Structure 1
Amino acid sequence: MSRSIDSLIDTLEQASQLPTKRRTVNIDPTVDALASALYETGALPDEVVRLVNLVTKPSHLTQAIVGTIIRHLYPATKVPREALLQVLGCLGHGELKPSLSSQHLLLRWLVMVNNVLEDPALLSQAYSVLFNLLNTAALRPQLCHLLALITRRKHVRPFRIQALLSLSRHTGNDPALTGLLRVYKSYYPEIIVGDATKGRASSFKHPDPQWRSQLEEIQASHLGERDKAATTRNKFQMNHLLGKQINGQRRIVIPAAHTLQAHESSVTLAEIDGPENLAKNLDKIELPSQLIAVLADPLLQKLMALKPNNEAHMRVNNWVLSCLSDVSSGNAGIDVLLDMVEILQDYVSSTQLLTPTLLHVFAELFQIWDGSERREVILDVLSYLPLSNYDNLYKNTLGPLEACILDNTAERQLILLSFYTALLRRWRVIMLSANDPSALPLPSVAKLVSHVNLLCLTISQTSPTVSSLLSIFEFFNCAQSLLGIPSLSAAALVETPPPSLVYLAHFSHSPAVVSSLYSVVAGFKRGLEAAMTQNLARTPTQRESENIRTFNGFLMDICNCIWRAKAFGTTDANARGCQVSRVVVSSLQQYLAAADPESPLSSAFDVSHSPALCLQSLYYIRGLEDTAVAEKDGYLQERHGGPVTQKSLVALRHRGGLELSWQEYRLGVLRHLEENGFGGISTLMYNTMKNLMQAKSS
């Protein structure tokens, strides 16, 4: 078993106090073991502090050992404030300071861990200290890189600009200084003029991409997803990567958001570092000159949402049309369109706006798209389609999208169903947030649901699996929720699920599917009743009346099967006999009479016999018997031997078994199903059967 990092640090700390010749053991294997352990698991905060102290304080460790430790100093979580202070305090000249080589490595390390600091503001507070070290040539490249990362508008002062210009002239236009000057110029372009920034400049790339990848793996294994996401991107800071490569190639370049006319008293986006600062200066912030940066800059997106600006939207539209012109002329291909959609994803999700101009991108894309490449991004953007005329929407967007995606496989059909579910959810939000919902094209919602009904029916036949049916009912659950919006009278036009699909799921062997179906049916029942009550003064259309009659039919059939022991019956009002042919029903009756004369077909699908519910019913009765045994000191004359019926409960009671009425048993099964996550069954029964409604209200 390998030694722990703590014990390895203990050994090095002891060895650092002794000259090499006085050590009794060779510490090189310890250093190698420590480097390997740090590479695999990283160092915890306390270990980072100890290692930083080890390499920054005077000791007898060789430069090679110090360099090895610094190069392998992977923090497993955040870099603690104490370690950062120790590094900043060791910089500069002095007898007790580390060598310039060590300082160079430490500055390089700060550049690489800049995004995982516990207290990033500390670097900003030490800006003057770092800036004053630029005279040291050995540290200058890494110092300029670090300063470029932490520089904000408040740091750019005339005396610093003058100092940089002077130092640049004396060093023969050092590329690192030129690169830092360009960062300064982005804040005050009218001040820094001339040839100072025209020479060769450092690009300030990450010093070691492989080191960064290993750090991300180590951090991912220690941090939760929430912390990981927080370290990835701060939504209240500008995106300083704009103007650089997108997806590793220069197919599309979004300019960075710079405020070219900034002055000493103005407030720019570059100075905003948090929500409080944004709210405080909202009315004072000057818009950047490159408003097209709103496509990918999270902070500018927030500003545009709080202070809408038509010019920004116009520039976005013009940029899109320009890119489309390149594609149409043959100067660009599908890669540009896909990159464009990827860039638009952030913008659309932030603004919740997918304009007709942006839809032109998809009209062009659908002509050459294979339906697979970057599909998730494309569907995510299209889920923000506006609630508009359905016929036009299907003709121009939804129809071509289906033509690209569908390939006669259930997998692609389910992908499309997931997209339509997301789209319907967004439309529901639009309807709920509208000041006047009646002004919206509400019939489009009903048409969308009717169209997806056919897709769901197809999926139920091509892939009647549990997961597929649950995905279908996820869509219908969203559709039935529309009926619960009181202000949307036209929502009554939303069609109920197709009967064939309902009956297929009703006879499923999965209690999860059956519960989901019954939950959806119960939701539609409540919604239709509310819509009919709201629209008493209006005569329903023929289609609405047929929709309600169809719904009442499978509602009655479900209750006949589960609760009333009248499976496949047609004598009750609205009953359809589950749309099973009388010839088939007669054959089933003859078969069952020969196989089990005590079990008629009419009760073959109740709570005790249904393929989906029989096991849960058995668990319930066994649980009652186990409880009775425990209460009676292990004595129960007889246990129930098979599916529970009203007759078997009476016989069981006479033979010394459980004393349980048929109604108590069925209510108990409903409670048991609800407790085990199948609440849709009890929800439907309590909302449909009159005797259960009264029992629940009492």
Structure 2
Amino acid sequence: MTSSPSPYDEDLEGLIGDIETASKLPTKRRLVGIKPTIEKTASVLYERGALPEDLARLVDLLTVRNHLDQASLGAIVRNLYPLGKVGDEIVLRFVGALGHGHLKPSFPLQGLFLRWLVMVYHLLDNPSILSQVYAVLFNLLDTAAIRPQLCHLLALITRRKHVRPFRIQIILNLSRQTGGDPNLTGLLRVFKNYYPEIIVGDVTKGRAAAFKHPDPQWRERLNIIQQQHRDSQLDSGVRNGFSVNHALGRQLKGAKAILPTVHTQNAQENSVTLEEINSAEQFVQNLEKIEMPTQLVAVLADPLLQKFLLLRPNAEAFSRISSWLMACLGDVTSGDADPVFWLDMIEVIHDYAVSTKSLPPLLLTFLTEFLKSWSGRDKTAMVLETLSFIPLMKFQDLHRLLQLLEHSILDNTADSQIVLIKFYTQLLRRWTISMQARDDLDSPPVSSIPDLISHVNTLTLTLSQTLPTVGTYLTILDFYEACGSIYSNPNLLQHIDIAVPPPLLVYLLHFSPSLAVLSRLCGILAIYKRAWELVMSKSLPRNRSLTKREREQINVFNGFLMDICNCLWRGRAFATSDLNAQGCRIPQAVPRALEKYVKAVDSDLDLGSIFTISYSPLLCLQAISFVREAEDNAADHLLTRHAGPVTQGSLQQLGLRGGLKMNWAEYRSGVLRYLEEKGMPGVPHLMYNTMKNLMKARNS
């Protein structure tokens, strides 16, 4: 007979997810009963408690009306053992669930909430939070079903400032109505402790409730769980980064459990072993004397050995580690080891990469082999974070790795494409940080950066059409902002070619329904424009001319830059007659048809102007809000106000009729300043860096 799995092995997060799903369905519509899941959840909570994230999800289940039965909800709240402090949000969710109303939890459940707050009072992250909602709690005293627990909590949090004559009178009246409720009498005695001269008579002499801990066994179990949690935190980490983790083998599971601990055999009399080191001072003083450990593969999980090999690299040591990893791969491919072992090894490598901020070639070899058989669904976040530490390398070598990754991740869904875009953004940011930390950028293969950007351009263009939502656009812009951080650094720009986004992507983002998207896009294009100017002006620290790749892209960039300025500023949307203008690459038959439609709607309008800051669906509110604020500031001197939208002619007429006196240039400059003040600087930055008249006005 096999023993039942320990509650420690249960996935609490998954159990909560199952309960959340079931809570949305009536009992008769559930395909599987929820009782076993509730029992497993209660068992796991009893054994190990709930972390803050799990606690918050459970509190949401308890406080929002759903289709779970009262017995299930009661079982959860009775086993709600928190690990660590209880935050304000948890307390307020419980307090907000109290009272009358068909959307409120049942009164027995509310009583359990109050009882729980009493039992975890000593764990509140901010004990004064209950004092802040004292009035809310006090006003619920007329609810008999929760009065015992409520009186206990009020007695616990009552301070001198809470005792007021009207509250004393309310308690006295309730006490008379209920025939001397012991709970009210007990609360009144607490009040009397603060103002004995006010509360007189025989009211407080009756039988009073003794406000003791509701469940001492629950408190004892809570103490045990919290102590176990503290002990596990202490045991799971090294005391400091300069001592060997001697408990590694017995603390870790899976692949980590087979990693040997640091051990040095055949040490010489005049040598020092890593096991003897217990401080940074000792480590530095004896660095050259330290003997190489016997089991070098422990470097994957031991921070001290990682520091040692970083400061004293050894080719033979890395060869031995590589041999061990390749032997593990051989066991899996030959069928002698469980494929799950690979995932455990990825966890080991992930911890190593996060700790050292690097991925040596031997680990890249292991990851390449791993990606050949990885499903793309197991431990995805961990695998991608590990791969984000890939060092800058030749793009031909990188591309082979990326093809394996994309083959595993992509499944013809937008979600998989978003996951991949986020990975490339993180990879590019790590490369940027590593390049900024280098003094010499001649040796690393920096040409891989524009190659990577060109590679990702195809993915971003595909994603923008697969899932054209604001969230998707913002994720795409995260990547190009990472590109912009490279091109805005002159030291990096003198070594790295500029690679621009695809024109179609720029137009899709420009005509998106979000001002945040437009602002961020314009801000990125402003960075690109300054980068082009630096390269072409030869004012970089190390002069360089445009490369062949850049010469092919400069006209493309100027094209969509002119189109955007024509739309937002020049009132010439979709024009093709200007130098570099491409009419947003829309077939000319479309603007002609739109022009006829616009004239049919309003003969005073033309297609070219309805995308400017006065008429644009994204900017018109900001534009007219700027005018309204200016009119409010000069309200005493105005005879009329502008009805909007603002045009050059309407401003002239407005001044003649006794309205706000403002010329066309002042209006447009004012709108740009207003956008900057409201936290949307992208459009102003692009205009200031593109339109010559604005450049001169700002410089003067």
TM surpasses 0.5? yes
Q: CA deviation at 1:515?
A: 0.9
User: Does residue 655 of structure 1 match 2:657?
Assistant: yes
Q: Give, in whole Å, the separation in 1 of the partners of 2:688 and 2:306.
A: 48
User: Does residue 331 of structure 1 match 2:340?
Assistant: no
User: Does residue 525 of structure 1 match 2:520?
Assistant: no
- Alignment-mate amino acid for residue 417 of structure 1: I
Q: 1:607: which partner in 2?
A: 613
Q: 2:262: which partner in 1?
A: 257
- Alignment-mate amino acid for residue 628 of structure 1: A
Within the candidate set 476, 482, 488, 1:478 is matched to: 482
**Contact between 1:505 and 1:517, CA under 8 Å: does it hold in 2?**
yes
Q: CA deviation at 1:416?
A: 0.5
Q: CA deviation at 1:577?
A: 1.2
Q: Equivalent residues in 2 for 1:653-692 (5 A)? A: 653-692=655-694
Deviations 1:470-499 (A, max 9, x none): 111121122233334445567553320111
Deviations 1:250-292 (A, max 9, x none): 6751112234567999765456555566556555655544332
- Alignment-mate amino acid for residue 586 of structure 1: R
Q: 2:641: which partner in 1?
A: 639
User: Does residue 363 of structure 1 match 2:383?
Assistant: no
**Contact between 1:40 and 1:218, CA under 8 Å: does it hold in 2?**
no
TM score, norm. by length of structure 2: 0.64
Q: Give, in whole Å, the separation in 2 of the partners of 1:660 and 1:620.
A: 12
**Contact between 2:256 and 2:345, CA under 8 Å: does it hold in 1?**
no
Q: 2:696: which partner in 1?
A: 694
The SS at the match of 1:439 is coil
Deviations 1:623-650 (A, max 9, x none): 2233333xx3xx7432221222222222
Q: Give, in whole Å, the separation in 2 of the partners of 1:310 and 1:77.
A: 53
**Contact between 2:497 and 2:547, CA under 8 Å: does it hold in 1?**
no
Q: CA deviation at 1:322?
A: 1.5
Q: 1:398: which partner in 2?
A: 402
User: Does residue 436 of structure 1 match 2:452?
Assistant: no
Moved more, 236-245 or 602-611: 236-245
- Alignment-mate amino acid for residue 400 of structure 1: L
Q: 1:141: which partner in 2?
A: none
Q: 1:508: which partner in 2?
A: 512
The SS at the match of 1:557 is helix
Within the candidate set 285, 305, 309, 1:304 is matched to: 309
Q: Give, in whole Å, the separation in 2 of the partners of 1:605 and 1:611.
A: 8
Q: Percent identity?
A: 46
Q: Give, in whole Å, the separation in 2 of the partners of 1:357 and 1:490.
A: 32
**Contact between 1:438 and 1:488, CA under 8 Å: does it hold in 2?**
no
Moved more, 486-495 or 670-679: 486-495
Deviations 1:580-629 (A, max 9, x none): 22111111111111212222211111111112212222322222233333
Q: 1:386: which partner in 2?
A: 391
**Contact between 2:494 and 2:543, CA under 8 Å: does it hold in 1?**
no
Aligned length: 495
- Alignment-mate amino acid for residue 569 of structure 1: A
**Contact between 1:466 and 1:513, CA under 8 Å: does it hold in 2?**
yes
CA separation of 1:250 and 1:519: change in aligned 2, threshold 3 A: closer
Q: 1:321: which partner in 2?
A: 326
Q: Give, in whole Å, the separation in 2 of the partners of 1:315 and 1:209.
A: 48
Q: CA deviation at 1:664?
A: 1.5
CA separation of 1:314 and 1:561: change in aligned 2, threshold 3 A: same
User: Does residue 341 of structure 1 match 2:327?
Assistant: no
Deviations 1:437-485 (A, max 9, x none): 2232232222111110000101111112112111111211222333344
**Contact between 1:607 and 1:614, CA under 8 Å: does it hold in 2?**
yes
Q: 1:593: which partner in 2?
A: 599
Q: 1:455: which partner in 2?
A: 459
CA separation of 1:356 and 1:598: change in aligned 2, threshold 3 A: same
Deviations 1:102-142 (A, max 9, x none): xxxxxxxxxxxxxxxxxxxxxxxxxxxxxxxxxxxxxxxxx
Deviations 1:179-216 (A, max 9, x none): xxxxxxxxxxxxxxxxxxxxxxxxxxxxx998665468
- Alignment-mate amino acid for residue 558 of structure 2: N
Q: CA deviation at 1:405?
A: 0.2
User: Does residue 552 of structure 1 match 2:558?
Assistant: yes
TM score, norm. by length of structure 1: 0.64
Q: 1:152: which partner in 2?
A: none
Q: Equivalent residues in 2 for 1:11-30 (5 A)? A: none
Q: Give, in whole Å, the separation in 1 of the partners of 2:83 and 2:343.
A: 38
Within the candidate set 560, 565, 575, 2:571 is matched to: 565
The SS at the match of 2:258 is coil
Q: Equivalent residues in 2 for 1:74-93 (5 A)? A: 76=123
User: Does residue 494 of structure 1 match 2:501?
Assistant: no
**Contact between 2:522 and 2:685, CA under 8 Å: does it hold in 1?**
yes
The SS at the match of 1:366 is helix
Q: 1:466: which partner in 2?
A: 470
Q: CA deviation at 1:218?
A: 10
Q: Give, in whole Å, the separation in 1 of the partners of 2:388 and 2:606.
A: 50
CA separation of 1:218 and 1:311: change in aligned 2, threshold 3 A: closer
Moved more, 555-564 or 298-307: 298-307
**Contact between 1:492 and 1:531, CA under 8 Å: does it hold in 2?**
no
The SS at the match of 2:250 is coil
Q: 2:412: which partner in 1?
A: 408
Q: CA deviation at 1:306?
A: 3.2
**Contact between 1:327 and 1:333, CA under 8 Å: does it hold in 2?**
yes
Q: CA deviation at 1:576?
A: 0.9
Q: 2:426: which partner in 1?
A: 422
**Contact between 1:386 and 1:427, CA under 8 Å: does it hold in 2?**
yes
Deviations 1:310-329 (A, max 9, x none): 34423321221111111121
Q: Give, in whole Å, the separation in 2 of the partners of 1:563 and 1:696.
A: 16
The SS at the match of 2:378 is coil
CA separation of 1:389 and 1:263: change in aligned 2, threshold 3 A: closer
Q: Give, in whole Å, the separation in 2 of the partners of 1:651 and 1:418.
A: 51
**Contact between 2:638 and 2:659, CA under 8 Å: does it hold in 1?**
yes
Q: Give, in whole Å, the separation in 2 of the partners of 1:283 and 1:695.
A: 64
- Alignment-mate amino acid for residue 391 of structure 2: P
CA separation of 1:73 and 1:599: change in aligned 2, threshold 3 A: closer
The SS at the match of 1:367 is helix
CA separation of 1:408 and 1:304: change in aligned 2, threshold 3 A: same
In structure 1, list runs of 5 or more residues that go unmatched. 1-35, 45-71, 79-207, 220-226
- Alignment-mate amino acid for residue 450 of structure 2: A
CA separation of 1:604 and 1:477: change in aligned 2, threshold 3 A: same
Deviations 1:535-560 (A, max 9, x none): 99877555432300000011111111
- Alignment-mate amino acid for residue 362 of structure 2: T
Q: 2:586: which partner in 1?
A: 580
CA separation of 1:274 and 1:683: change in aligned 2, threshold 3 A: farther
Moved more, 263-272 or 343-352: 263-272
Q: 1:628: which partner in 2?
A: 634
Moved more, 596-605 or 273-282: 273-282
**Contact between 1:557 and 1:567, CA under 8 Å: does it hold in 2?**
yes
